[in-house]
């Protein structure tokens, strides 16, 4: 059998984007070979988890119940198969193994599966896969030759699938970390339109009025002056990719900043060309909320918590005293009690303690 003219390879490489996975490929393979069932099974080397995909008619209820109650899984020694070699059913059944014999006679033969061809493929990171065709007389050497030809393509598809799943997991974990730190990014084209962004930024649009997704997906700050400044900055980056990044303050309470930098290196996965990336970092809570949290966390008095939060932003004691309407002497006395209760040995360490405490992910 040849691989062309039935779309097997196309279905194989597109199958990782389907739900259920590889359904079209397995159905095409079933029709091509005349099999009753085609299956694709994934079993990680060091895990007992199994992902089993199949195409074919559902088994009769009594057969299904027997499988669940007596076997739960296919008992054949697939892990002992040599990688890339096609095995016939007779090579997998041990003549003196009663479980193998009963599985064949009780489950397979009643469903028209008197023969099978199966091949094992190993992906470099350690994930194994087995592709099998089970049926009657049509399952012979020609099906074995087809599976032999499919094996290297299956290995490529499996490798791509594992890499994609790994990146999806990393992306999810990174996105969760960004969300907890109230941090995110978005890319912008030359017209200040959003090209891509982290999920956290979409949540930020829903939670605050400081920024919004405007008409034609344009990033629109609430402040007209900031809008003009951002628009000019994006045009500058479009003309000069080596320009210096610029930080913009969006709000003091709750605090939120944005760093806008030229985008170096595009992506074939986007429809328009990004010229800038904007990093957003800020706080979900107001200053009053944070002071209450400092009271709870370190046992500070409300007056001490207010000063602690201000100086934790890196503001000198004298400026913090003026901001809060305190004398410098009173602020210094408060700061001594703050350092004692938090364990800080000075303002720099207080900044570290506050910014690395659970307040950072509150």
Question: 113 to each of 64, 135, 190, how far by Cα in Å?
Answer: 15, 4, 61
Predicted local distance difference test score (pLDDT) of residue 4: 56
Query: Residue 264 has what pLDDT?
Result: 77
Provide the pLDDT for residue 271: 57
What confidence score (pLDDT) does residue 351 get? 77
d(CA 290, CA 183): 17
Q: Is residue 310 classed as helix, strand or coil in its secondary structure? A: helix
Among residues 316, 350, 321, 353, the alpha carbon closest in space to that of 334 is found at 321
86-132 per-position pLDDT tens digit: 999 999 998 889 999 999 999 999 999 999 999 999 988 878 899 99
* pLDDT < 70 stretches in the chain: 1-6, 44-49, 175-182, 253, 265-271, 282-287, 289, 355-362
- Give the residue among 83, 134, 142, 96 at the shortest CA–CA distance from 113: 134
190 phi/psi in degrees, rounded to 5: -65, -20
Helix (H, G, I), strand (E, B) or coil at 40: strand
How does DSSP classify residue 22? Answer: T
CA distance 20 to 55: 11
Give dist(CA 353, CA 361) in Å, integer: 13
* Residues 294 and 313 sit within 8 Å (Cβ to Cβ): no
Rounded-to-integer distance, Cα 339 and Cα 345, Å? 6
**Predicted confidence (pLDDT) per residue in 286-344, tens digit:** 567 678 878 888 888 999 988 988 888 778 889 989 989 999 999 999 999 999 998 88
- Taking the whole predicted model, whether its pTM rises above 0.85 is answered as no
Give the ranges where the chain is alpha helix by DSSP (H). Answer: 8-14, 23-33, 61-66, 89-92, 98-103, 141-180, 199-207, 224-239, 287-298, 302-311, 317-324, 328-342, 347-356
Q: What are the backbone angles phi and psi of residue 182, rounded to the nearest 5°?
A: 55, 45
Q: Are strands 127-135 and 51-55 parallel, antiparallel or unpaired?
A: unpaired
Please, what is the end-to-end C-alpha distance for the chain in angstroms? 61
Q: Give the per-residue pLDDT at 361.
A: 46
Phi-psi region of 201 (alpha: psi -120 to 50; beta: other; left: phi over 0): alpha
């Amino acid at each position: 059998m040849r691989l062309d003219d039935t779309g097997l390879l196309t279905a194989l490489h597109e199958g990782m984007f389907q739900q259920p996975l590889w359904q079209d490929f397995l159905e095409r393979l079933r029709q091509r070979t005349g099999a009753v069932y085609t299956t694709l099974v994934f079993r990680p080397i060091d895990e007992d988890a199994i992902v089993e995909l199949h195409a074919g008619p559902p088994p009769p209820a009594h057969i299904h119940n027997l499988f669940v109650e007596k076997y739960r899984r296919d008992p054949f020694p697939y892990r002992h198969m040599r990688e890339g070699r096609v095995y016939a059913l007779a090579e997998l059944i041990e003549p003196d193994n009663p479980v193998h014999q009963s599985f064949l006679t009780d489950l397979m033969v009643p469903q028209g599966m008197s023969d099978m061809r199966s091949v094992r493929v190993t992906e470099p990171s350690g994930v194994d896969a087995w592709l099998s065709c089970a049926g009657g007389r049509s399952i012979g050497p020609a099906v074995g030759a087809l599976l032999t030809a499919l094996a290297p393509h299956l290995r490529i598809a499996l490798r791509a699938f594992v890499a994609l799943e790994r990146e999806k997991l990393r992306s999810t974990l990174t996105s969760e970390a960004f969300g907890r730190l109230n941090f995110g990014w978005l890319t912008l084209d030359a017209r200040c339109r959003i090209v891509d962004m982290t999920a956290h930024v979409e949540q930020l649009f829903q939670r605050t009025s400081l920024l919004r997704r405007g008409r034609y997906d344009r990033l629109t700050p609430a402040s007209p002056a900031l809008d003009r400044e951002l628009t000019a900055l994006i045009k500058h980056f479009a003309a000069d990719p080596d320009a210096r990044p610029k930080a913009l303050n969006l709000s003091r309470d709750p605090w939120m900043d944005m760093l806008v930098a030229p985008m170096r290196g595009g992506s074939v996965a986007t429809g328009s060309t990004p010229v800038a990336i904007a990093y957003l970092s800020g706080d979900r809570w107001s200053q009053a909320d944070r002071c209450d949290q400092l009271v709870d966390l370190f046992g500070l008095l409300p007056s001490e918590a207010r000063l602690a939060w201000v100086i934790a932003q890196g503001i000198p004691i004298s400026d913090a005293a003026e901001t809060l309407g305190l004398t410098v002497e009173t602020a210094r006395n408060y700061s001594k009690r703050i350092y004692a209760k938090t364990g800080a040995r000075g303002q720099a360490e207080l900044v570290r303690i506050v910014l690395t405490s659970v307040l950072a992910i509150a």
